[in-house]
Amino acid sequence: MFPYTPLVSRNAKKRQLPPAWNENNENTTPRPSKAPRIPYTPTNPIPPFSLLGTPSHTAQDSIPATPTPSTSRTPLAEKKNRPVYRNGYEITKPQTPSYPTYSLGGRRKAFTGGNCSRLEPLAPLDPAVWNQHAQDAGLLSAGQSLRGFQVEAANYVLGRAGDLCVIAPTGAGKSFVWTLPLLAQDRGISLVIVPYTSLGYQGVLRSYGGSMIKSTFLHGKNKHPAMLERLARDGGRQIVYICAEMLESPTMAPVLHSDSFKAQLSAIYIDEAHTAHESSTWRD
């Protein structure tokens, strides 16, 4: 066999080097940059001092003037939409609820049935009679007596003459104001609006009047329709504690529009009424 001999000799390709590189380490000119070089010259050079020795340009002249707005700004104290605070609370505009308050709507109906005869005004009672009623209900012990404002407020509620405001310190017995009138009436409902849920729970636990008066607290977790219907129809003496948000909700509309509930309503009370002035939500 004959060894393989190529017909054409192939020469190895020589690697191409960049033009700025030299195999003999000779100094070559660097490759010029494509970006043009522009010498820096200040736009506004400071002129030299004059020949008379007085400077023609001072350092104060080189400071640019402070820009001024084209329109004058109104001070914060003169703005109409500035925040207003009262007793540490910011007063904001009341938000319109997504539903009409105290209205039944299209599908809800008022609860019917029950006693629809309205409560009549009663004559005022003597303090001795009120003390006896309070002792029979367990509000007072033997030998105790009611305060003067408690007797006066109870007689005012019995007469159903108008609105009443009671101002008394903490622990003076303001809760007796919505309890005593029920003891003199054979039936009636005291609707007590509380600003905090803790006051509603506290009123039910204390159970003013014992077995003679039934206490109920209506809130978001205690609003079963059967209980609300029984509340509107049943007679007797009742104290109903409720928050304002629950009172305005559509859930309470069938109760408020019930003829039997309105007939048995003895009075409406607002507990801790000063919170209605300080708060910035529904109470505005």
B/e letters for 117-145, b = 16+ CB within 10 Å, e = fewer, are eebeeeeebebeebbebbbebebbeeeee
Question: Could you report the per-residue pLDDT of 184-221, keeping only the tens digit for each?
Answer: 998 999 999 999 999 999 999 988 888 889 999 999 88
Domain boundaries, the chain: 174-278
- Looking at residue 284, what is its pLDDT? 47
% of the chain at pLDDT higher than 90? 38
- The answer to whether 139 and 208 have CB atoms below 8 angstroms apart is yes
**What value does the mean pLDDT of the chain take?**
79
- Looking at residue 209, what is its pLDDT? 80
Higher-pLDDT residue of 276 and 68 is: 276
- The answer to whether 163 and 176 have CB atoms below 8 angstroms apart is no
Question: Could you report the per-residue pLDDT of 89-136, keeping only the tens digit for each?
Answer: 777 766 666 667 778 877 778 888 877 888 999 999 999 999 999 999
- Looking at residue 213, what is its pLDDT? 92
Mean pLDDT on 70-89: 65
Instruction: Give 180's contacts (C-beta < 8 A, 6+ positions apart).
Output: 130, 133, 134, 139, 146, 150, 151, 153, 154
List the structure tokens of 223: 């609003």
Mean pLDDT on 36-65: 58
- Of the CATH numbers 3.40.50.2300, 3.30.505.50, 3.30.1300.10, 3.40.50.300, which one belongs to the domain with range 174-278? 3.40.50.300
